[in-house]
Amino acid sequence: MSTAVDRTGDVPLLELRGIGKDFGSVIALDGISTTVRAGEVTCVLGDNGAGKSTLIKVLSGVHRPTRGELLLDGRPVDFGAPREALDAGIATVFQDLAMIPLMAIWRNFFLGSEPTTGWGPFRRFDSATAKDVTRRELAAMGIDIRDADQPVGTLSGGERQSVAIARAVHFGARVLILDEPTSALGVKQAGVVLRYIAQARDRGLGVVFITHNPHHAHPVGDRFLLLNRGRSMGDFAKGELSRQELTAMMAGGDELAELAEELERPAGG
């Protein structure tokens, strides 16, 4: 449904053209096309087994697509490893968050990319800078942590998601992929995370927001890609779809009607 030339005419940050992925004889993903623009949120919706995880893994460089093209700034790209996608500016916040619960927030924030100071055998982890940057980056995202020294394990699920998002933004992500960031959270916590998604978008990032909850996707999304059993059920711009339509498509409208009928109390029973 999406085309290379968009309504605004500029080149999208990331574009998928007929992406497909097979695992042996299983077609996990087929004919997926959508666009991710700077300062916009593209939501990927689908039930369990719809192919959301496979799509993330293709985008983040874990899997190579079997078919189709991935374009970054209009140029075709081919990621052989997660590191290559990361270097190209595509950061993925996985569900398990890649954070160590027993370690302090600032240590987690810079894990694997620690700033150093000094030279020779006295080269050391620049903890003052690390703490300072952590505090500043979290504040810029509107995250108010009491103490950068507290272990990540003491944060709530929403706060942890937010730290992971802030980390991706700090390390130069242009495209931010969020794997079901709201699925394990309560209503209030999910709201907090949605606000941070909006923050990242307002800072000019292209966000790919994977979820199975249309109520989380609709308020924040600019584009909606619906997946079902590995195939695209459509790629819509915000104006083309109401929340009710989105919900109905997600639930598989007819199936839901059938289910409602099935669960109905027998008349007169």
Partner 1 sequence: MSATREAPVSGPARADERLAAVGLWRRLLVKPELGSLIGAVVILAFFSVQSSTFRSLSGIANWLDVASTLGIMAVAVALLMIGGHFDLSAGVLTGTTALTVGVVATELGQNIWVAIAAALVLALAIGFLNGWLVTRTGLPSFIITLGTFLMLQGLNLGLTKLFTGTVVVRGIAEAPGYHSAELLLASTISVFGQPFRVAVVWWLLATAVASWVLLRTRFGNWVFATGGDEVASRNVGVPAARTTITLFMTTAAAAWLVGSITAVRLTSVQANTGTGQELIYIVAAVIGGCLLTGGFGSAIGAALGALVFGMTQQGIVYLRWDADWFYFFLGAMLLLAVLANRLVRRYAEAARR
The contact set with partner 1 (CB under 8 A) reads: 82-83, 94, 96-103, 107, 110-114, 116, 123-125, 127, 139-140, 142, 144, 146-147, 150-151, 153-157, 159, 185-186, 188-189, 192, 194-195, 198-199, 202, 219-220, 238
The answer to whether 207 and 201 are in contact (CB under 8 A) is yes
Residue closer to partner 1, measured from CB, 70 or 220: 220
Residue closer to partner 1, measured from CB, 49 or 101: 101
CB 70 to partner 1: min, Å: 21
Query: From residue 206, how far is each of 120, 232, 246 by CA, in Å?
Result: 40, 20, 21
CB 145 to partner 1: min, Å: 8
CB 149 to partner 1: min, Å: 8
Residue closer to partner 1, measured from CB, 5 or 122: 122
Q: Give the start-end residues of each E strand in the chain.
A: 14-23, 26-36, 41-46, 67-72, 75-76, 90-93, 116-117, 124-125, 175-179, 206-211, 223-228, 231-237
Give residue 114's Cα distance to chain centre. 24
> What's the one-letter identity of residue 135?
R
Residue closer to partner 1, measured from CB, 63 or 107: 107
Number of neighbouring beta carbons within 10 Å of residue 123: 10
CB 135 to partner 1: min, Å: 13
CB 195 to partner 1: min, Å: 4
Which residue do the tokens 């009607």 mark? 257
CB 58 to partner 1: min, Å: 17
Residue closer to partner 1, measured from CB, 129 or 228: 129
The answer to whether 54 and 30 are in contact (CB under 8 A) is no
CB 93 to partner 1: min, Å: 11
CB 151 to partner 1: min, Å: 5
Residue closer to partner 1, measured from CB, 53 or 232: 53
Question: How many whole angstroms separate alpha carbon 159 and alpha carbon 151?
Answer: 12
Contacts of 27 (CB under 8 A, 6+ apart): 20, 21, 230
The answer to whether 208 and 44 are in contact (CB under 8 A) is yes
Residue closer to partner 1, measured from CB, 203 or 257: 203
Question: How many whole angstroms separate alpha carbon 203 and alpha carbon 115?
Answer: 24
Task: Say how many residues make up the chain.
Answer: 269
The answer to whether 66 and 20 are in contact (CB under 8 A) is yes
Residue closer to partner 1, measured from CB, 71 or 94: 94
